[in-house]
């Protein structure tokens, strides 16, 4: 057989017919005339010297050779798409930015980046946890995320670049009728013996639960057992109301009806927020995000660590550098 040099367009026609098993529907998907599509399939069959479809007046089905060709065609088309993407202008595609939770520090960074780069499309996502989001970043399904990078698996962290964003003071979300709810601030020692929820059992937020566990161990605070994974503010509020436990949070956490948010003090425990992305990522939107972080952190003192604060050494060292 002569060397095969098949046009990817014709392979795409074959794959579409194989998926639809109907020439009219396949032609509509490809925005071509049915006669042109049939002509392309016949050309492919001539090139390969094989019949790929059984056609009757009632149905279309793949022949054994058609079944054998299909996975090869998929791989060729995937490689062709990857080639186009590798040499495309990065600005031609949206930058997918995971904010973890809306209405907090990362959302402010994104808003400012959009002002700095109005021609870039920066699309927000909400993955709720850097442990999960980091895997999505490495898989190429996200571009940027925010969170506690020191809590990631070292093998994962080694593939990411990081930029410190903010030392976020922690707080505690208390039911409105909790004995500590009337105080303006809550000392760490006031929580001794309390059971506090910090995402235990949620595989998406392991980095947060790990940080809480280290904090709780120093002040004899009990880590609340796993609760059902709640998606959305309303469901989270319902589950937390049902358990009745205080919730470890940060000072900018969005308010929930029936609860009060109180800063933690003596000392102030810090949640280290970093921006993370795949090493080697090139996109003008990333430059805008980095500039937004630098601007906001500088003007609002986000990277000024309080003199009486708590932060694990592993987090402090990562916040002191950019990789």
Give the contacts of 320 (CB within 8 A, at least 6 positions apart): 164
DSSP state of 255: P
Rounded mean pLDDT, 39-47 = 93
Select from 269, 263, 265, 273 the least CA-distant residue to 303: 273
Per-residue model confidence (pLDDT) at position 323: 47
Q: Residue 170 pairs with which residues in a beta bridge?
A: 250
CB-based contact 202:232 (threshold 8 Å): no
The Cα 227–Cα 248 span in angstroms is 14
pLDDT digits (tens, 9 = 90+) for 133-155: 999 999 888 999 999 999 999 99
For residue 259, pLDDT over 80 is answered with yes
Greater pLDDT, 86 or 176: 176
The Cα 276–Cα 158 span in angstroms is 11
> Vertex 31, ends 28 and 35: CA angle to 5°?
75
Residue with tokens 């909790």: 178
Counting Cα atoms < 13 Å in the Cβ hemisphere of 206 gives 11
Q: Where are the alpha helices (DSSP H) in the chain?
A: 8-20, 23-30, 34-48, 64-86, 105-116, 130-138, 154-157, 206-218, 233-243, 284-300, 313-319
Tokens (6 digits) for 93: 């595609």
Per-residue model confidence (pLDDT) at position 318: 94
CB-based contact 9:64 (threshold 8 Å): no
Per-residue model confidence (pLDDT) at position 195: 95
Question: Could you tell me what percent of the chain has a pLDDT over 70?
Answer: 94
Per-residue model confidence (pLDDT) at position 184: 97
Residue 322 binned pLDDT confidence (cut-offs 50, 70, 90): low
Select from 271, 232, 276, 274 the least CA-distant residue to 249: 271
Residue 88 binned pLDDT confidence (cut-offs 50, 70, 90): low
pLDDT digits (tens, 9 = 90+) for 199-255: 998 889 999 999 999 999 999 999 999 877 766 667 777 777 778 889 999 998 887
Per-residue model confidence (pLDDT) at position 4: 64
CA distances from residue 21 to 29, 54, 202 in whole angstroms, order as listed = 12, 10, 42
Question: Could you tell me what percent of the chain has a pLDDT over 90?
Answer: 72
Per-residue model confidence (pLDDT) at position 102: 79
pTM above 0.75, yes or no: no
pLDDT digits (tens, 9 = 90+) for 47-75: 999 999 999 888 999 999 999 999 999 99
Select from 214, 221, 203 the least CA-distant residue to 314: 214
> Vertex 321, ends 315 and 323: CA angle to 5°?
110
Per-residue model confidence (pLDDT) at position 90: 56
CB-based contact 51:38 (threshold 8 Å): no
Per-residue model confidence (pLDDT) at position 1: 47
pLDDT digits (tens, 9 = 90+) for 267-296: 999 999 999 999 999 899 999 999 999 999
Q: Is 158 left (phi over 0), alpha (psi -120 to 50) or beta?
A: alpha
Tokens (6 digits) for 323: 């990789």
CB-based contact 183:207 (threshold 8 Å): no
Tokens (6 digits) for 257: 């009806």
Q: How many residues does the chain have?
A: 323
């Amino acid at each position: 057989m002569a060397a095969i040099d098949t046009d990817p367009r014709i392979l795409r026609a074959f794959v579409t017919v194989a998926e639809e098993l109907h020439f009219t529907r396949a032609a509509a998907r490809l925005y071509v005339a049915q006669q042109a599509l049939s002509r392309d399939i016949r050309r492919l069959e001539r090139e390969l010297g094989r019949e790929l479809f059984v056609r009757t007046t009632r149905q279309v089905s793949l022949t054994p050779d058609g079944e054998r060709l299909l996975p090869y065609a998929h791989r060729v088309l995937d490689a062709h798409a990857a080639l186009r993407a590798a040499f495309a202008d990065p600005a031609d595609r949206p930058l997918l930015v995971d904010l973890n939770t809306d209405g907090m520090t990362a959302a402010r960074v994104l808003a400012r980046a959009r002002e700095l780069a109005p021609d870039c499309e920066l699309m927000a996502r909400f993955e709720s946890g850097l442990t999960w989001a980091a895997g999505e970043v490495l898989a190429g399904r996200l571009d940027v995320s925010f969170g506690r990078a020191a809590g990631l698996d070292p093998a994962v962290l080694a593939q990411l670049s990081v930029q410190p964003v903010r030392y976020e003071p922690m707080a505690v979300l208390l039911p409105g009728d909790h004995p500590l709810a009337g105080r303006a601030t809550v000392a760490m020692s006031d929580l001794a013996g309390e059971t506090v929820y910090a995402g235990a059992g949620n595989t998406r937020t392991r980095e947060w639960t790990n940080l809480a566990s280290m904090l709780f161990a120093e002040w004899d605070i009990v880590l609340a057992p796993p609760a059902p994974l709640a998606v959305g503010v309303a469901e989270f509020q319902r589950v937390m109301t049902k358990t009745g436990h205080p919730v470890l949070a940060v000072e900018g956490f969005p308010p929930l009806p029936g609860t009060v948010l109180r800063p933690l003090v003596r000392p102030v425990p810090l949640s280290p927020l970093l921006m993370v992305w795949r090493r080697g990522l090139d996109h003008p939107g990333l430059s805008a995000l980095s500039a937004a972080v630098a601007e906001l952190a500088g003007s609002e003192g986000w990277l000024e660590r309080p003199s009486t604060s708590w932060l694990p050494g592993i987090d402090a060292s990562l916040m002191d550098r950019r990789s």
